[in-house]
Structure 1
């Protein structure tokens, strides 16, 4: 019973957040002009953009996994890079809209996070371990963001200065934290303890993509390099390939 309101609640939440970001974007363009101006690219704006785009990488990887062909994946990722959390919200809402009432009543997060079980879930065979590759990628991204943060603090001082809050900085922060909300929902789903979930979410809010990368690497370390990388999407105690196929079998 409780899972159907969860699905509709998340669908409504991301519809509202997407509309909020669209309104913020249009308002900022109308009141402050286009963002492609050299004077806007202050050191802290540059650091915020690095933070923002590193946080987009997990969504891009998820979309590439979810979509059935590379053309649709590429289009969604291009929209994600160009429009940020508007695309994130639209894509998440679309995944919830696709759910049947039966899927909502079983486990909506499984069906949203994981690719349809009738599609080819097998990763390409060969020497490449996607789990190992993702561990390396997100470790590097986390170090890049940590270096960017330390460098900007040393060279430009504290970010808590009113002159830094330009209209486009505010819009970028709104964009950034809507994506953080999506990541926070995933973290809350993944964690078995609400205390752990709250702690991770607080770290996400405070340290952005550094926490995102650390969390993803931690989750990847909990599965074997021989495992399917999509297992990182679900709680560690569940085996996605078994449970998801079981849910699919009940639905057929």
Structure 2
């Protein structure tokens, strides 16, 4: 579904991503792991078009999207939940969800999806008319992921979904991510929390200093404790 060939991203003289290549097959959950500053978020931002690729090629669902605008990538079915959630704090929970469906033209389907996510996350239903900024961090992450799913993506990019959340909430978020995988959604999960990311991953990429250090199955990575300690802190 997604092929990235020799992707490089630079900010002036700083190389954030160095000739990174990866593939994601339809229905896979692929984890992209690495420490702070490894180039994970820059990779996500290049995939979504928020930053321009300095070099390389990206092909999504058979189409070259290397120079495509962000909104065109969303329409094609590539959506992200950014690091830090970036909900609209002054808008209600309901308004945030509707914004996620802005590119759709099927009101009935939008209503059905809204009802689905409200049933999955009852707290969002309870606070549907409240400002999203009043939600806790975990509740905001639930809202952010639900908002992304309102566009009915073919591929969902999740950037640090566990960031700043209590362990119990992190487990709930990843249980939901596992459910999405079981429903057939294709996912790229960017994480520092290797333990959670490896629970559901079909394949794993590890990056450090912008370069690829590991590409393979999660079981092999979990067995290679030296690699875990070196790049992920254990």
What TM-score bracket applies, with the shorter chain setting the length?
A: under 0.3
Structure with greater strand share of residues: 2
Report which of the two structures shows the higher radius of gyration computed on alpha carbons: 1
